[in-house]
Chains A and B, each alone.
Chain A
């Protein structure tokens, strides 16, 4: 009966629809009550040339140049890209490859800036009258300010901010879910900067002319729900709802959140805009507000520094480029002992850092220090699959993880692809519930990587074939032309010879 009532409530739109699958994870929000504090500026900041999804940027400053805070230091002509800005005023001391937070341990070209201690700042023109401006101008501003999705996906934000005739946006969703354990950045942001988030929401809403707005927050953050409701009343906005969603991982994932709120699924291979939805993180909305109303580019973010092995966990406002080692030291973790591991991101989707000499980037939402005993992959042996089906029950994409993992392990990549390997969002639910401790997500990453390499090799082979065939044709043409010339010469010679005889 309660289930029936729930279905009825969902059908009538009184209750959020929820999404398929998912798991309950212990939330361990150690830092929920820690106010945001400023991280000091380190001696040198290291800014990677790619902190977003898309094309890599190129430096537009030189070694020895003096830069202002907020000055653009790297950009690219590419479309899917976000420029990089100097987080502090100072001098460019080096431009060279440096290790970044990436599972490969490889590096990227980085700009090294030594702060000069001054706070000279470059800002774009503030646009407080944004509601009289062309949305295209605001979009250009969002792009110029290097804003990317701050939930962790770091997809350039301006790309999603379009008014498309064919796909008008009806619903704008602000994502304040933060379903990963430990992380409290969005939570603190909503508590401390609710008004700025609401301003950002208004700007976004104006840009895409959405008719209704939803601010989605999980019900383990009731205080944030209250604060956001009050902020909306203060701003006297209509058509904005604050929804307290039942806590469930991975509700913060874009497609799952949309399914939860609207009851509609984004079809595989399609984008939310195709069903009239735009989804943005609350921190992104705040960044948009700063970019538009104050002309301030994205140069810092809030990071949760937490974990059981962190002596003084907290929420820190950190300029991009700050070395992780420096940040950890601010929270009391000076040297990292043997049994301690540092994670970049949350415990479900984050990466274990091989080295803490990497900079904080736009994607860094958390830095966690955990004891070895807490990390499952390090303590359990993979056992054979017992076909219990738990993994399929929790997969929010409705995949069949055990079969997929088998195909990946056996290098049957095409078959894995036919089982929709690329729809997997790597949320980790399946690995989490697997009683046999199979590192399912790791197999999927392996499979995806191998498939990507095969595709690249095929594309390269195709290109080479095209070039080699073009060359064959050219050589044939040249041979032909040569023979034709020879024939012509012969003909004219014999003609001359005949002419001589007569």
Chain B
């Protein structure tokens, strides 16, 4: 008899808890995968495809599924790699490629034939132009992804170094022995990990 009461009451509890949980899951359901969103938030959004995926979002999805490693985003550099390692709870890995200096595309307008192919390639709509008109790059929006270089049939797009602005200049670390030692120790640590 006692055993039956125990089974019934425990079973009842379990049923209630199960119902509550399933209700809660319905009610507080999160749209999309929160991990993908979190990863996407720390990617630089250059949309360059150097990670081997067609953009930052697909790479974020691949990382969240555990398919892709955390060290493939080239423009993000070390900082992004560390952030991804933190998010995924894995050890940091050395980067395969160093990020280059920030670039911006420039169209030599007198050579442009107005084919609109570069507009179609640009992932952030940073090129303006119309068929058979000169095209130009809005430098403030260009992420420097180089995707517009390939499609141009007359090869009139150059990648230029982003000009250094005095307002954006930042102080370097002090050149003292201790600063140098600290830096080296950190780098060794990262390499060992």
Contact = CB atoms under 8 A, between A and B. Distances in A.
B193 interface: no
B166 A461 contact: no
A374 B56 CA distance: 53
B43 to A, nearest CB: 7
Given A457-B44, A467-B126, A468-B123, A446 B170 contact: yes
A456 B45 contact: no
Given A442-B171, A445-B171, A467-B141, A382 B47 contact: no
B170 A449 contact: yes
Contacts of B168: 452-453, 456
Interface string B165-185: 010111111101111001000
Contact of B186 (A384, A410, A449, A470): A410
A73 B21 CA distance: 71
Interface string B79-98: 10000000000000000000
Contact of B45 (A442, A454, A465): A465
Contact of B170 (A384, A452, A460): A452
A439 to B, nearest CB: 5
Contact of B124 (A383, A411, A464): A464
Interface stretch (A17-25, A99-107, A178-186): A99-107
Given A107-B166, A439-B176, A446-B173, A461 B45 contact: yes
Contacts of B55: 468
Contacts of B141: 463-464, 467
Nearest to A413: B79
Contact of B164 (A106, A384, A463): A106
A130 interface: no
A450 interface: yes
Contacts, number: 84
Contact of A464 (B46, B170, B179, B182): B46
Interface in B98-121: none
Given A382-B177, A384-B178, A467-B124, A446 B172 contact: yes
B125 interface: yes
A461 B43 contact: yes
A264 to B, nearest CB: 33
A479 interface: no
Interface in B23-63: 40, 43-47, 55-56
Contact of A382 (B143, B171, B176): B176
Interface string A223-245: 00000000000000000000000
A103 B171 contact: yes
B171 A446 contact: yes
B123 A102 contact: no
Contacts of A136: none
A461 B46 CA distance: 7
Contacts of B182: 409-410
A468 B170 contact: no
A464 B164 CA distance: 20
Nearest to A449: B170
A470 B125 contact: yes
Contacts of B124: 464, 467-468, 471
B85 to A, nearest CB: 15
Most chain A beta-carbon neighbours within 10 Å: one of B44, B45, B47, B177: B45
A460 B162 CA distance: 14
A411 B183 CA distance: 9
A381 B177 contact: yes
A108 B144 CA distance: 25
A448 B164 CA distance: 18
A409 B169 contact: no
B164 to A, nearest CB: 7
Contacts of B186: 410-411
B57 to A, nearest CB: 8
A359 to B, nearest CB: 15
29 contacts: A102-B166, A102-B169, A106-B169, A381-B176, A382-B174, A382-B176, A382-B177, A384-B178, A409-B179, A410-B182, A410-B186, A439-B174, A439-B176, A443-B173, A445-B171, A446-B170, A446-B173, A448-B171, A449-B171, A460-B143, A461-B43, A461-B44, A464-B47, A465-B45, A465-B56, A468-B47, A468-B124, A471-B123, A471-B125
Given A446-B171, A464-B143, 8 more contacts: A382-B174, A382-B176, A442-B174, A448-B170, A464-B47, A465-B45, A468-B55, A468-B123
